[in-house]
Amino acid sequence: MARLNTRQWDLYKYLKERYAENPNAYVTTKEIIRDLPNDYYFTQAEIENHTPAHDTSAHQNIRNDINTIRNSEDVYKIVYSSAKGYKIANEEEANKWLHRVKMEALSKLKMYSKNCKCGSLNQQLRI
């Protein structure tokens, strides 16, 4: 499992602090970039080229760091995400998120199984 780096610990602590202030509040990527400017920022090239925000390295780093936090053995909280942003999940949100992850995994497993079957029937795969 992944070990968190300093930037990821900073993001996790930030999410915990925001949860302590208001357990129902979401944190947007814009707020993360504003509040953690040493960790997440736009490059000069992204600014000069007017790169859409969702395509910037800052946004990619946030998404990657959230996934690393979720996969870390050192973190005992679930980071919930929705179109509203990110937050530490309460019990209802944790159950909702876990159900969503399970359904995505089952869907991919079903597709994998189907494609293995089709591939072996057409001799595309040797099993």
Global confidence as pTM: 0.83
Cross-strand partners of 88: 79
What was the pLDDT predicted at 119? 77
Q: What is the mean pLDDT of residues 29-44?
A: 95
Q: Which residues of the chain form beta strands (DSSP E)?
A: 79-82, 85-88
- pLDDT tens digits along 64-108: 999 999 999 999 999 999 999 999 999 999 999 999 999 999 999
Rounded CA-CA distance 116/107 in Å is: 14
Q: What is the CA radius of gyration of the chain?
A: 19
- Cβ pair 66, 14 in contact under 8 A: no
Backbone angles phi, psi at 48, to 5 degrees: -65, -35
